[in-house]
Amino acid sequence: MADVHAALRSLGLLPPTAGTADGEPLEEVYDTATELAVRHFQQVRGLSVDGRVGEETYRALSEARWSLGDRLLHHDPVRPIRGDDVINLQDRLHELGYDAGPVDGVFGTETEIGLRAFQRDYGLTADGTCGPATLRALRQLGRKVTGGRPQLLRQSASFVESGPHLIGRRIVVDPGHGGPDTGFTAGETTEADLVLDLASRIEGRLAAAGATVYLTRGRDQAPTLQERTAFANDARADLFLSLHLDAHPSEHARGVASYYYGTGSGPSSTVGEQFANLVRREVIARTGMLDLGSHAKTWDLLRMSRMPAVRMDCGYLSHPVDRLLLLDARLRSTVASAVVAAVQRLFLPAEADPPTGTFVLPARV
């Protein structure tokens, strides 16, 4: 139920977490306040108002948590993208006089046609994908918080323009597993789906910071290790980041580890090691997950890529707390932000690096 509470809270329908005297969070219960919040949500969303979180309400809650800029939006005929960010985009297109079909939060053919028309008129690449350039154009055309329809729960895009710091950088993000290879599973949740979601969030944020980003696979693809590294090599990537989750028979195993190429004693990838440290520390600092350190490995994935390559195992699906965290979309957004911060620290000159107070930038070699 923590996920439901988190969703209601992020929509402003429940107050921020109350705590006990010693700072421990109170246990989440489905109390009267929760039921009221759910009823309110159902009412605003035009769902049947019963105060219970059934399948429909749960899906609506999940969709409500996307804001414009969280991810790249495009038309996927197999699994159409749904969410409040799509509603926001459709609204903006309508406000600007483009027919993007019904404002239903589903990125369909009509949304794509409307978006392409807008892109053509404003001198953008008419690729039907709502990425950073399109977002900037949409934003520059004046902010209008409410459209001609009932005010949305999420009133404004939380898209944070981080500036084009990473222009010219090519980054390959590699969500592990895929297709028939689900990786670890916990109930209906698979490692493959979670790391793909994470990779998509990273892709959106890195692209917003100006980087050129490629993912090694889609939802139904399962490239081999060789194909993944060949992909990164062909893309002439500056950086390769592979994403996995872990699991262990012991339910106590938890935390975040990162890996870079090296034998431990012999030559190692200096930049790879540096990025492995940066990304792990950023994730730890922002999520409070357990720090399992960075480790040198000679795995093919790291060895065969011709650019700094890092694999991050971002938590244990087998650990009850790690699992709850990973199932929370906000946590995955936080991890995505952490990755972007790490990439910026890697590529930005040290003097341009904004102090965060979370850690001291290692000396450059």
Query: In whole angstroms, what is the distance from residue 102 CA to residue 177 CA?
Result: 36
Per-residue DSSP letter, 76: -
Q: How many CB atoms lie within 10 A of CB 12?
A: 12
Q: Where are the alpha helices (DSSP H) in 122-266?
A: 132-140, 191-208, 225-234
CB of 295 to Zn ion, least distance (A): 16
**Segment near Zn ion (CB under 5 A); pick from 75-83, 156-164, 183-191, 355-363:** 183-191
Residue 183 as a binder of Zn ion (CB under 5 A): the answer is yes
Which is closer to Zn ion, CB of 183 or CB of 204?
A: 183
CB of 232 to Zn ion, least distance (A): 17
Q: Are 208 and 162 in contact (CB under 8 A)?
A: yes
CB of 305 to Zn ion, least distance (A): 17
Which is closer to Zn ion, CB of 60 or CB of 195?
A: 195
Structure tokens belonging to residue 130? 């709502």
Residue 262 as a binder of Zn ion (CB under 5 A): the answer is no
CB of 313 to Zn ion, least distance (A): 7
Structure tokens belonging to residue 297? 């490995």
CB of 205 to Zn ion, least distance (A): 22
**Segment near Zn ion (CB under 5 A); pick from 122-130, 180-188, 206-214, 229-237:** 180-188
Residue 244 as a binder of Zn ion (CB under 5 A): the answer is yes
Which is closer to Zn ion, CB of 205 or CB of 244?
A: 244
Residue 315 as a binder of Zn ion (CB under 5 A): the answer is no
Q: How many CB atoms lie within 10 A of CB 352?
A: 10
Q: Are 223 and 217 in contact (CB under 8 A)?
A: yes
Position closest to Zn ion via CB? 244
Query: In whole angstroms, what is the distance from residue 214 CA to residue 195 CA?
Result: 14
Q: Which one, of 244, 251, 200, 250, lies nearest residue 76 by Cα?
A: 200
CB of 191 to Zn ion, least distance (A): 5
Structure tokens belonging to residue 59? 């899906």
**Segment near Zn ion (CB under 5 A); pick from 158-166, 176-184, 268-276, 354-362:** 176-184
State the residues that interact with Zn ion by CB under 5 A: 176, 183, 244
